């Protein structure tokens, strides 16, 4: 292909990406920036025989279009469609499931070693972003670098999701901005070749260039780890990419090719706003999300409390801390893709007298369990961990669903774990957490549901627009009944209300659980002793979740009641167009819950009357009408 053909292909790919993400949502700016690189990779290497691994895979769209999914690309992030991340179950060209930053180098090293151990012959290419170098896992992989043939491509665009921060970002910037060195490169490319004996002169000066580079540029950082350094080069020049990739392909050692790209390249809006267009939502999603409410409330609290500081791991925009960063720049810390460091750094801040609020997505908090256990809870430090995106993240799928945090957090002593039913309750919980003086975790989803305005009132229900004071370990009673108790967590309170509306023949108690830890034991005891059936409802996996905690309590206290859990099953939940589609797939809709409740109620009465006929029943049925 000629250069113009490459440009045409790149433009076509960008148009497909733009059109699809505008309708389906997805990662836009990061993918636009690597179109030329993706073309060059698939021109030089033989995928899937050669293994191309994308770190995070926020930049895999062009790769998908160039392999076997161009015709399916309109289904991106949709139900039964293709994933927004590399997924081996989807295509042999996706050799590793990537959704979290920093994994590419470790997995690529493993594949390179396995290749050599098995005496096979193929190339392994890891495409990492400059933000990945702030991640501890990447640095651990660098420290373990051997002599196995491996190509690392450093896609340097100055961004993770937000602008890159820290010493490594400054370091890489220095590598590409040294004026004298870049002038030598320009002279070699444009002028030396035209002089008499130009080819000999270019070879001579090329050797001199490498010497000068080693003196002027800190490329030795990578070479000390055993990686031959090549670059930096223009990541939007296909011919230059092809030339350098062919060179890398011929080397028999680990090396790093440093390319400079522009996030959002080819689209003026994305280029000017790379943070806002990193990930875009479908046009149908319009709401004042919990992240915005969190960011505004923390700013309000910080006005009157100078001890409050905020920490995030490369997610200033996503977690809603952009406003706090603008208003309190010296009290806001973005530590890069380093969740473990973010929490232990917070522990240090707390130990020295500040009140840290650390905002991290649920799925990324999984990477920092030991930091919570060893550095925060063990010392019972007053810290607020704001767990964003807790619950289902339908479009992103299994790498991003926040369905596991309760299970791994509630096993840790000293932690307080709570979840609000609506944004107003999130504000109240933040206020309470500031005053609790404990290690507090507050989990909340991205989007605000519609749990208020329940359609029509029913006896015993208080206003859903009122948020009572948050008391440690105390739930909230929404409605008092006599037969069936629904204990819901977070936005699932709205589901409980809807169930009660659609089953008016039953007498329901509806409880807003609020606290996963400590549980409201007084409430649970009362509900068990005064109801026939009890159900918990949560946006979390069943194993180890809120419902499991409730059942454990009932068992420990020897409280006899038919209790059931409505939650996600013990499996990885795929991506889909929306949460409703996934609820249908896994029988987790309101209709499914109603059917289960009706069946359980009928079975309960059948069992009670059967025991009564035999004279063995110890349970006297209360007044009711079987539906």
Residues annotated as part of the active site: 263, 339, 367
Q: d(Cα 285, Cα 283) in Å, to the nearest integer?
A: 6
Identify the CA nearest to 157 among candidates 274, 322, 268, 40: 274
How crowded is residue 613: how many other Cβ atoms within 10 Å of its Cβ? Answer: 9
SS3 307: coil
* DSSP labels, 456-501: S--TTPPPTT--PPP-TT--EEEE--SSEEEEE-TTHHHHHHHHHH
Taking the CA atoms of the chain, what radius of gyration do you get in angstroms? 28
Alpha-carbon span 224 to 388, nearest angstrom = 38
Could you list the beta-strand ranges (E) of 474-586: 476-479, 484-488, 508-512, 515-517, 533-541, 562-568
Give the C-alpha separation, 566 to 337, whole Å: 34
CA pair distance 286, 477, nearest whole angstrom: 30
CA distance linking residue 363 with residue 313, whole number of Å: 12
Q: Which is nearest to 236 in space by CA: 57, 13, 48? A: 13
Chain mean position to CA 616: 53
Contact 77, 577 (CB under 8 A): yes
Q: Which of 269, 178, 179, 250 is nearest to 217 (CA)?
A: 178
Q: At what angle do helices 423-436 and 290-304 cross, to 10 degrees?
A: 40
Structure tokens at 348: 């240090």
Half-sphere exposure of 346 (CA within 13 A, CB side): 37
Class of residue 305 by CB neighbours under 10 A (exposed 0-12, middle 13-18, buried 19+): exposed
| Closest by CA position to 28, among listed 60, 54, 1 | 60
Strands in 484-488's sheet, in edge-to-edge order, are: 476-479, 508-512, 484-488, 533-541, 562-568
DSSP 75-124: GTTSTTS--SS--TTT-TT--S---STT-HHHHHHHHHHHHHHTT----E
CB neighbour class for 274 (10 Å; exposed up to 12, middle 13-18, buried from 19) = buried
CA–CA dist 437, 426 (Å, integer): 17
d(CA 471, CA 429): 9
What is d(CA 260, CA 194) in angstroms, rounded to the nearest whole number?
27
CB 366 within 8 A of CB 328: no
Ramachandran angles phi, psi of 150, nearest 5°: -155, 140
CA dist 72 and 573 (Å) reads 21
């Amino acid at each position: 292909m000629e250069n113009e053909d490459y440009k045409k292909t790149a433009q076509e790919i960008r148009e497909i990406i733009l059109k699809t993400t505008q309708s389906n949502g997805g990662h836009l700016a990061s993918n636009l920036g690597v179109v030329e690189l993706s073309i060059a990779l698939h021109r030089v290497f033989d995928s899937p025989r050669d293994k191309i691994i994308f770190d995070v895979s926020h930049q895999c769209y062009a790769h998908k279009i160039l392999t076997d999914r161009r015709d399916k690309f309109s289904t991106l992030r949709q139900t039964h469609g293709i994933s927004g991340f590399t997924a081996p179950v989807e295509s042999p060209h996706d050799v590793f499931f990537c959704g979290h930053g920093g994994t590419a180098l470790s997995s690529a090293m493993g594949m390179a070693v396995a290749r050599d151990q098995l005496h096979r012959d193929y190339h392994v290419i890891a495409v990492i972003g400059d933000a990945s170098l702030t991640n501890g896992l990447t640095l651990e992989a660098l420290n373990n670098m051997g002599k196995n043939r491996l190509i690392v491509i450093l896609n340097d665009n100055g961004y993770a999701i937000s602008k890159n921060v820290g010493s490594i970002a400054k370091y890489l910037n220095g590598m590409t901005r040294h004026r004298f060195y870049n002038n030598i490169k320009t002279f070699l490319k444009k002028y030396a070749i035209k002089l008499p004996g130009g080819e000999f002169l270019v070879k001579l000066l090329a050797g001199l260039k490498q010497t000068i580079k080693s003196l002027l540029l800190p490329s030795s950082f990578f070479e000390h780890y055993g990686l031959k350094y090549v670059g930096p080069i223009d990541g939007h020049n296909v011919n230059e990419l092809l030339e350098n990739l062919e060179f890398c392909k011929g080397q028999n050692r680990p090396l790093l090719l440093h390319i400079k790209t522009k996030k959002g390249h080819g689209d003026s809006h994305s280029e000017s706003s790379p943070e806002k267009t990193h990930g875009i939502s479908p046009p149908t999603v319009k709401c004042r999300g919990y992240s915005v409410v969190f960011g505004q409330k923390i700013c309000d609290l910080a006005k009157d409390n100078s001890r409050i500081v905020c920490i995030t791991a490369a997610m200033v925009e996503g977690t809603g801390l952009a406003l706090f960063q603008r208003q309190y720049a010296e009290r806001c810390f973005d530590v890069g893709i380093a969740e473990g460091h973010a929490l232990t750094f917070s522990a240090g801040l707390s130990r020295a007298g500040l009140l840290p609020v650390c905002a991290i997505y649920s799925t990324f908090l999984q990477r920092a369990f030991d930091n919570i256990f060893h550095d925060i809870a063990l010392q019972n430090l007053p810290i607020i961990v704001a767990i964003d995106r807790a619950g289902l993240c339908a479009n992103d799928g299994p790498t991003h669903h926040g369905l596991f945090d309760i299970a791994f957090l509630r096993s840790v002593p000293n932690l307080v774990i709570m979840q609000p039913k609506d944004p107003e309750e999130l504000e109240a919980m933040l206020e309470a957490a500031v005053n609790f003086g404990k290690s507090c975790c507050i989990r909340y989803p991205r989007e605000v549901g519609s749990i208020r305005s329940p359609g029509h009132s029913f006896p015993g229900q208080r206003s859903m627009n009122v948020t009572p004071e948050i008391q440690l370990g105390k739930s909230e009673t929404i409605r008092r009944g006599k037969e069936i108790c629904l204990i819901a967590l977070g936005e699932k309170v709205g589901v409980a209300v809807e169930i009660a509306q659609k089953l008016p023949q039953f007498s329901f108690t509806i409880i807003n659980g609020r606290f996963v830890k400590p549980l409201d034991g007084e409430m649970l005891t009362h509900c068990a002793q005064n109801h026939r059936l009890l159900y918990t409802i949560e946006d979390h996996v069943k194993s180890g979740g809120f419902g499991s905690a409730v059942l454990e309590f009932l068992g420990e206290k020897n409280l006899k009641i038919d209790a059931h859990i409505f939650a996600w099953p013990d499996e990885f939940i795929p991506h889909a167009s929306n949460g409703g589609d996934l609820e249908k797939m896994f029988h987790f809709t309101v209709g499914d819950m109603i059917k289960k409740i009706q069946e359980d109620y009928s079975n309960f009465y059948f069992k009670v009357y059967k025991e009564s006929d035999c004279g063995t029943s110890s349970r006297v049925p209360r007044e009711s009408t079987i539906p």
